[in-house]
Structure 1
Amino acid sequence: MSGRVRARVLVEGVVQGVGFRPFVYGLATGLGLDGLVGNDERGVFIEVEGAPATVEEFLARLRTSPPPLASIERVSTGAIPATGEPGFVIAGSATGGRRRALVSPDVATCADCLREMDDPADRRYGYAFTNCTNCGPRFTIVRGVPYDRANTTMAAFAMCEECAREYEDPADRRFHAQPVCCPACGPRLRLLDRDGREAGGDPVDGAARLLEGGRVVAVKGLGGYHLAAVAACEAAVTALRRRKHREDKPFAVMVPDLAAARRLCDVDGVEERLLTSRARPIVLLRRRPDAGIASLVAPGNGWLGLMLPYSPLHHLLLGRLAAPIVLTSGNVSDEPIVYLDEEAVARLGGIADAFLTHDRRIHTRTDDSVVRVFRGGELPIRRSRGYVPQPLALAWPFPRPVLGCGAELKHTFCLARDDQAFVSHHIGDLENYETLRSFTEGVGHFSSLFDVVPEVLAHDLHPEYLSTKHALEQEGVDLVGVQHHHAHVASCLADNGVAGPVIGVAFDGLGYGEDGTLWGGEFLIADLAGFRRAGHLATVPMPGGAAAIRQPWRMAAAYLDLACRGDVPAGLDVVRRNAARWEAVLALARHGVGAPVTSSMGRLFDAVAAIVGDRDTITYEGQAAIELEQWADREEEGAYPCHLEGEEPFVVPGAELVRAVVEDVRAGAGRAVVAARFHNAVARAVADGCDRLRQASGLATVALSGGVFQNLLLLTRATALLEERGFHVLTHRRVPPNDGGISLGQAAVAGARDRLGRACGQPP
């Protein structure tokens, strides 16, 4: 034993279920070291013994060359007495301590598994559940930790002799791959008719024939059921829209490969990297004029959401069809995605003509993620499958565990402890019992997986949000109310590792303000713990309240009444189209009856869309603003005047912008020019407002957040103007700027107040 040392090592991060133990085994035995490796609640524990220089080399390579799916957050080492025991072994999993081990997201099928599936001589040829330590389901099948087969939904499938041999062989690619299986012992596919009766023959071939015949097929994916139809088939896409009650919102499209993606959309290098990443998100891409798909896939939309196959079943189905398919969440609009087999036929039987399903249970429903590219980087729109539950490392520790309860639309929750934030998968719009149950069950699952028992609950100020009501019903915890737009800015700060103070610009649809009005066009001076409202869009009434969200022409009426001082030109198309109800709606706006006031930038975009185009009603959130962005001429550099009014908090006069819009429309300017000048004016108002606040505060960093900043034209123009004026601009990179990022902001605010001992959001 002379000259030998023994080190105890703990590796934390995403290191279970990703081939880390066989990697350690191969590294140690290749270097001639002795010892052991195993899993516990914290991660992977290692004891390694040998010559000092060799042990040092082992530790260096451990950090620099981990398996592809591993994400190391921390490596702790310490010296222990050498034992002289020869050999290196893989120990059994240890239990009993505080759980800190992380769970990998679901991972797209790797190239090795695809080769096996395509090889007629391989026993997994054409098998729809092929996986290994480098790919396959993870988060959606995990029931507990450590990440062992017994704690997944694969526990129901006993491994055959061949799979068990692979599973136990440290040199095999499937060593301790928990979902390992094959046709002899694993899950099996079934094709059911809409009444739940099983069809004969090969299920994939049967489903492909139905799709080719114009049918709608429900396909069980990793995180739930999808509804599929051939994207080029007008009749099938029309039927899917009608049955799903989804009038206009674009459908996602799955394409067989990159070549097919390029036939439908322009794809640059960054977009290609995102499409082919292990997460396999839906990527929003600029649509080609000659894209060969049905008109109702994305009606009136210049962008398409494309994704590549990410499960073996998708590869088999797309390989059989060799054509793009619509692949949209398996639900009726506004309901959560269906993921339980016993509910699928009952809830989707009125939409799908058949079901391509299987008997591996999904433990956690998880929608597809959605991203787009901004300035060569990833801008998340929906962070879910492929990303969750990967924690976000933060720059500051949480003194106590926190639950950020989230907002109402695009709901997520966030559990945070130490220096990690676990932002949940996309839950949906928290407006009914089913989504509320998904929220509460999800919190329980995350709490169990990551051993986080929240002592602080952070919630929105809106008293009618179900997430707020849930928080207020809890006992034995401290409650922290966080203003909606402060949470947006704090989310952007946490996303970028910046504590503030900064100038925060939060533009969205609506959020409950500290004065009881509905905010949404806000300039804040903010740090993580507090804020003050330093400027905002001028308030206007929302005639009819929530009806004004669904019917943008009502916001047009309110803005036109202010902009034209009660003398609205009768010749405007929006007035003519809605003449029968115009005066009644104006009466609501003028008298304040059923017309709450708002400073919402989203509602201003709605009003301009109704004036410039014909978007009087919407069928999905943000539709009017999305169309207004797409109408805009990217080459137009003109901007309408917009003069900030008053001292802090200054006011951005939206009516002045609307007045300029009306003048251009009456002068015959095309909607592309008007839409562009309006966007340019809002971007200039952002820069002017930040300039004014810099003069008063000395702050030169700006954080842009809120759903309106999903608008790439506005985000690009505003960022460029701010940078031209010497500002450092923070935008979102890891969580969405929309309400899907609110829960992170809430948790960050609660943690900051905990660290500073602030009971409330005192301004910085």
Structure 2
Amino acid sequence: MPHSKGMRLRVNGIVQGVGFRPFIWRLATELKLTGRVFNDTGGVIVELNCSAAQAGEFAELMLQQLPPLARIDAMHQEALDLPVFSSFAIDVSQSGIVTTGCAPDAATCPDCLSELFQPGDRRYHYPFINCTNCGPRLSIIRQIPYDRASTTMVEFTLCAACQQEYDNPADRRFHAQPNACPDCGPHCWLETPGGEPVASETPFQALGEALRDGQIVAIKGIGGVHLACDATNEQAVKRLRERKQRPHKALALMASNIEAIRQFARVNEQDEALLTHPAAPVVLLSRQENPEQYKIAPSVAPDNTKIGVMLPYSPVHHLLLAEVDFPLIMTSGNRSGEPQAITNDAARSQLNNIADVLLLHNRPIHNRLDDSVVVAGKYGTQILRRARGYAPASLPLPSGFSAGQTLIALGGQLKNTLCLIKDGRAVISQHLGDLHDASTFDEYLHTLQLYRELYENAAEHYVCDMHPEYLSTKHGVSLEEQGNHLTRVQHHHAHIGACLGDNQYPLAGDAVLGICLDGTGFGTDETLWGGEFLYGGYAAMKRIASLAPVPLIGGAQAIKSPWRSLYAQLRQCFTAGQLAEMTDICPQFADPMCNSFEKMLTMQLNCPLSSSAGRLFDAVATALGCAPAQITYEGQAAIRLESLAQTCQEDVEPYHLRITDNQVVPQAMWQQIITDLRQGRSKAAMAMAFHKGLVIALSEMTLKLKAAYDFTTVVLSGGVMQNLLLSEALQDTLQSSGFKVLTHQQLPANDGGIAFGQALVALAKNQ
């Protein structure tokens, strides 16, 4: 074959399994260019018989017209001798097995949605319609390479019509691995809680009737099973809470379209962009104060001024929402404390006492995917839970990090995620949950093995938290005992490292000040930290200030009982006898258990010191009457306190937290709070005064530290930073003082982000 000068484009990013090669084929054909496109182990290669100028034009159009699910992270062009091609072709992979992992699952695209509701279309009302621009990916993959035989679709043989689509590069279903139709693909059916089939030619119509009757239905979707009921029916919502044993934590909603959401929630442009994104996350929205339609049941989100809402993201959801004219609760299908059911048998066993009817199907879910949760704020989007639609999209390593190192970070105990490093990129798993549940830990081990295989990561270097009781740490120790290398990274250092990496802060960048506020993390001095000022960078950070440490009375029990934190805080200011007379402040102070507290404090028995910001919020929330005696989910008291502050309608003076010996000391604030409570001051104003006072104290401490340490950048991380009232005010104040402020962009500020930070810290230590 004769050769001539040509151009080669190497494209890296999310470019496999997302219709990228047929897109390139169509673009080249339109431009009348000859050549070929193929996958290799690192991405996609495009070879063109053309000049450099023509290749530049091609690349520009490629960037402008990318398929919806594609993402280009890097592109390199080079001139070389190429065969003279007679046409443009899609070739088989040239470099062995393609090992670039898997794209995230994506919401139903407009083309498929149009076909779904087009009478006469062969996929009319077919609950598993998809194409290369939408549908399941991570949820169905079992192994590499990503082709049909490696997914749970292997048991469904394509019919002639579907096979023709699959083989045609001009068709949007070219190599769409989950491609199917009613003749050859999965199907769904209805069951009673006892497992008996429910005869129905139109199962979604039957579900609609059940929902209108106030029943609870279970629906198997893409990444797991949901429980649904009428979100405007208070009795139905209460019944769901009782059966699911989820008394207070907010329940997510699903509504048919943006206009329906506007009937009960405020939606700005940023919110709408998030709602309609292919990731289709749950978006936290402010409520409409006096909705004319769709009055959401009070029990949907009793602790929060915001409500979480998403749009239908699978054909199953679209067909269901088409049958009702009200928003639905759409919450994970599980018993309290257990992971979301993903198999039909798990749905039957877990939900038989919760759901009144179940919609199941026979397309297996191999990997559980919770719904992602996000919120739009003043400084951009905060991802609160990164799962379906976002994971496992990779992040590049910041400049200065070696592309040659391979390792795996094991994450923390709560909101666990994994992070795999290879070829200069970080792959962060979907949210896996809290590892104290045995089923969740099993899922954790399954996901670790899956990701190792998907990304051919044979790392013998693991990274974990320093806390000896975290199950992820114990797993790291077991791997170390098998001969692997293990690096332990302090919890809050990992938080700051994650935020630095999230902002592509270079390895050789100047030292920063990290402010990390969360519940608790194991410190280098073996005490429990949680309100920290750290100075340094990826490789090392020094604790240079903190919130004043206070005993955690009863250890972990103090996390579950916020009033214990109030007792501990006030015990710094008052005697035990004085606290016994403060039952007007906290009725629990009359409990004889307080006598035991005094003995525990005196003997230093199960009362570890902690600088936890989370426990400070718990204490203030208890004092203001917005914390239950026993919380029913993590962060409940703090969420109620933020919601209370958001209702404040007046301009308030901040409470005073003193700066002493590089500690933020709240004793003076407590004197003010007690006085205000007894004088009957508005509790909303008091909640706002606390938020403002804490922001001022954190800012004052930053300025004090600036006099002794050289930094211009402040990094904010930790679960407490998800409190937008606090974090946005803190960012405002710090920026007005001349600091550059970094906050999370693509990862959660909570423990869902620390695996990335663990990985970067370990890489920096081993450069």
**Which TM-score band (shorter chain)?**
over 0.9
Change (3 A) 1:131 1:275: same
The correspondence of residues 34-53 of structure 1 with structure 2, limited to 5 A, is 34-50=34-50, 53=53
8 A Cα contact 1:108 1:136, kept in partner = yes
Residue 559 of structure 1 corresponds to: 569
Which of 671, 675, 678 is the aligned partner of 1:659?
671
Distance in structure 2 (CA, Å) of the matches to 1:52 and 1:326: 55
Report sequence identity in percent: 43
Residue 119 of structure 1 corresponds to: 118
Distance in structure 2 (CA, Å) of the matches to 1:552 and 1:152: 46
Change (3 A) 1:640 1:333: same
8 A Cα contact 1:491 1:745, kept in partner = yes
The correspondence of residues 140-151 of structure 1 with structure 2, limited to 5 A, is 140-151=139-150
Residue 74 of structure 2 corresponds to: 74
Q: Deviations over 1:684-722 (max 9, x none)?
A: 111011101111112121111101111111112111111
More divergent stretch after superposition (559-568 vs 723-732) = 559-568
8 A Cα contact 1:6 1:79, kept in partner = yes
Residue 631 of structure 2 corresponds to: 618
Residue 531 of structure 1 corresponds to: 541
Q: In structure 2, what residue type is equivalent to 1:641?
A: H
Q: In structure 1, what residue type is equivalent to 2:501?
A: A
Distance in structure 2 (CA, Å) of the matches to 1:306 and 1:528: 37
The correspondence of residues 574-653 of structure 1 with structure 2, limited to 5 A, is 574-580=585-591, 581-615=593-627, 616-632=629-645, 633=648, 635-646=650-661, 650-653=662-665
8 A Cα contact 1:116 1:124, kept in partner = yes
Q: In structure 1, what residue type is equivalent to 2:643?
A: Q
8 A Cα contact 2:7 2:51, kept in partner = no
Distance in structure 1 (CA, Å) of the matches to 2:56 and 2:396: 27
Residue 657 of structure 1: how far off its partner (Å): 2.3
Distance in structure 2 (CA, Å) of the matches to 1:747 and 1:51: 42
8 A Cα contact 1:560 1:659, kept in partner = no
8 A Cα contact 1:374 1:712, kept in partner = yes
Q: In structure 2, what residue type is equivalent to 1:470?
A: H
The correspondence of residues 66-465 of structure 1 with structure 2, limited to 5 A, is 66-94=66-94, 96=96, 99-201=98-200, 202-291=202-291, 292-396=295-399, 397-398=401-402, 399-465=404-470
Distance in structure 1 (CA, Å) of the matches to 2:649 and 2:109: 39
Residue 51 of structure 1: how far off its partner (Å): 5.7
Residue 50 of structure 1: how far off its partner (Å): 4.5
8 A Cα contact 1:149 1:178, kept in partner = yes
Residue 540 of structure 1 corresponds to: 550
Distance in structure 1 (CA, Å) of the matches to 2:64 and 2:587: 67
Does 2:684 correspond to 1:672?
yes
8 A Cα contact 2:657 2:667, kept in partner = no
Q: In structure 1, what residue type is equivalent to 2:590?
A: A
The correspondence of residues 701-740 of structure 1 with structure 2, limited to 5 A, is 701-740=713-752
Residue 683 of structure 1: how far off its partner (Å): 0.5
Secondary structure at the residue paired with 2:579? coil
8 A Cα contact 1:558 1:586, kept in partner = no
Residue 651 of structure 1: how far off its partner (Å): 1.1
8 A Cα contact 2:396 2:424, kept in partner = yes
More divergent stretch after superposition (195-204 vs 424-433) = 195-204
Secondary structure at the residue paired with 2:706? helix
Residue 3 of structure 1: how far off its partner (Å): 9.1
Secondary structure at the residue paired with 2:66? coil
8 A Cα contact 1:49 1:55, kept in partner = no
8 A Cα contact 2:250 2:303, kept in partner = no
Q: Deviations over 1:45-80 (max 9, x none)?
A: 333325665445434433443322211123344445
Which of 493, 517, 522 is the aligned partner of 1:507?
517
Q: Deviations over 1:433-465 (max 9, x none)?
A: 211111111111111111222232111111000
Residue 23 of structure 2 corresponds to: 23
Which of 460, 468, 471 is the aligned partner of 1:466?
471
8 A Cα contact 1:13 1:102, kept in partner = no
Secondary structure at the residue paired with 2:487? strand
Change (3 A) 1:4 1:51: farther
How many pairs align?
Answer: 751
Q: In structure 2, what residue type is equivalent to 1:131?
A: N
Change (3 A) 1:519 1:55: closer
Q: In structure 1, what residue type is equivalent to 2:439?
A: E
Secondary structure at the residue paired with 1:729? strand
Q: In structure 2, what residue type is equivalent to 1:246?
A: R
Secondary structure at the residue paired with 2:440? helix
Residue 90 of structure 1: how far off its partner (Å): 2.0
8 A Cα contact 2:108 2:130, kept in partner = yes
Q: In structure 2, what residue type is equivalent to 1:282?
A: V
Distance in structure 2 (CA, Å) of the matches to 1:630 and 1:589: 33
Distance in structure 2 (CA, Å) of the matches to 1:652 and 1:84: 72
Distance in structure 2 (CA, Å) of the matches to 1:490 and 1:658: 34
Q: In structure 1, what residue type is equivalent to 2:554?
A: G
Unaligned runs of 5+ residues in structure 2 are none
Q: Deviations over 1:412-444 (max 9, x none)?
A: 111112321111111110103211111111111
Residue 570 of structure 1 corresponds to: 581
Residue 487 of structure 1 corresponds to: 494
Unaligned runs of 5+ residues in structure 1 are 756-764
8 A Cα contact 2:582 2:589, kept in partner = no
Residue 289 of structure 1: how far off its partner (Å): 2.9
Residue 700 of structure 2 corresponds to: 688
8 A Cα contact 1:509 1:520, kept in partner = yes
8 A Cα contact 2:338 2:439, kept in partner = yes
Q: Deviations over 1:599-652 (max 9, x none)?
A: 101101101111111522211101011111111126434111222111xxx111
8 A Cα contact 1:456 1:750, kept in partner = no
Change (3 A) 1:619 1:53: closer
Change (3 A) 1:455 1:657: farther
Does 2:710 correspond to 1:698?
yes
8 A Cα contact 2:417 2:430, kept in partner = yes
Secondary structure at the residue paired with 1:459? strand
Distance in structure 2 (CA, Å) of the matches to 1:276 and 1:22: 25
Q: CA RMSD in A?
A: 1.9
Distance in structure 1 (CA, Å) of the matches to 2:657 and 2:53: 68
Distance in structure 1 (CA, Å) of the matches to 2:607 and 2:619: 15
Residue 532 of structure 2 corresponds to: 522
Distance in structure 2 (CA, Å) of the matches to 1:65 and 1:727: 38
8 A Cα contact 1:223 1:365, kept in partner = yes
Change (3 A) 1:283 1:55: closer
